[in-house]
Each structure stands twice: as structure tokens, then as C-alpha cells.
Amino acid sequence: MENASKALLMAGGILIALMIIGALVLLGNNLSSYKTNEEALEKQSQIVEFNNQFEPYNKDDLNLMELKSLFNKIESNNQINPEYKITTNIENAYPDIKKDFKQISQEEKQTRMFSCESIGYDGEGRINNMQFRKIK
């Protein structure tokens, strides 16, 4: 009788140990998936923040000053983040865009209008191409 009660105590101890180990494994898996989800949300947030710099220029009535501002942002981005390079045809739409802006008349800065024809995105959803055309 004494041996039977010791055997039951040992079996109960092993069962409790297995339940604790199972709970720890389950907790480890949950923490791992939580960390993965957190990293995915952080990456998505960075992509949205990146795109928000360029999305405001996706319109049909950009003046030359806005286009020059966008051109400078794209040039800066391409130097700082070559892995997220943005291609554009701004130099085709307005060949003098690299010219010193002081040499361009104030009237031309305000009246020369451009339109964003398309924006391209990479596989992650980050802007990688912007195409423009001159309206007037």
C-alpha cells in the first residue's frame, strides 16, 4: 500500500512537470509570434512614413516650386537610402530642374504646371517610381 501511494505521488509529480513544460513551450511560441507581429507592424509603419513624404505630390496641379521641392527630396533620398531608390522622369518633364532656382523667373515658378501621371510601388508597398508630365 505504501509503494502504491509513492507511485501515485511520483506519477502526479511527472504529470505536473509535463504540464509546466507544455505551458512554457506554449508561452515561448506565443512570445515568438508576438515579436514577429510587432516587427511586421514596425516595418509597415516605416513604409507608411516613407510614402507620406512623397504622396502629397501625387496630384494634377503641381507648380514648378513644388516639383523642385520633390526633385530635391528624391535626390536626397536616393543618396541617403540607395536601397530605396526612387526613379523619376522630372528631368524629362522639366529639363532645367537642376538649374539654380534663382535664375528662373518668379512668374515661371508659379505658372509652370505639372501633373503626376503615375506612382509605382515595390513588392513591400514602398514608392519606387514617380512619373510626371508638363501641363503648361
d(CA 38, CA 34): 6
Query: How confident is the model at residue 36, as a pLDDT?
Result: 82
Pick the more confident residue, 45 or 12. 45
pLDDT digits (tens, 9 = 90+) for 76-112: 999 999 999 999 999 888 888 887 778 888 888 878 8
The average pLDDT across 10-35 equals 84
**In the chain, pLDDT over 90 holds for what percent of residues?**
46
- The angle at the Cα of 111, spanning 132 to 97, to the nearest 5 degrees, equals 50
Secondary structure (3-state) at 108: helix
pLDDT digits (tens, 9 = 90+) for 60-72: 989 888 999 999 9
The DSSP symbol for 103 reads G
d(CA 130, CA 81): 16
Three cell numbers written together for 33? 509570434
d(CA 106, CA 64): 10
Taking the model in full, what pTM does it have? 0.72
Residue 1 has pLDDT above 70, yes or no: no
Q: Are 136 and 130 in contact (CB under 8 A)?
A: no
Question: By residue range, what is the domain housing residue 23?
Answer: 2-134
d(CA 55, CA 66): 12
d(CA 90, CA 132): 6
Number of domains forming the structure of the chain: 1
Cell 505521488 belongs to 9
Query: How confident is the model at residue 50, as a pLDDT?
Result: 94
Burial 119-129 (b: 16+ CB within 10 A, else e): beeeeeebbee
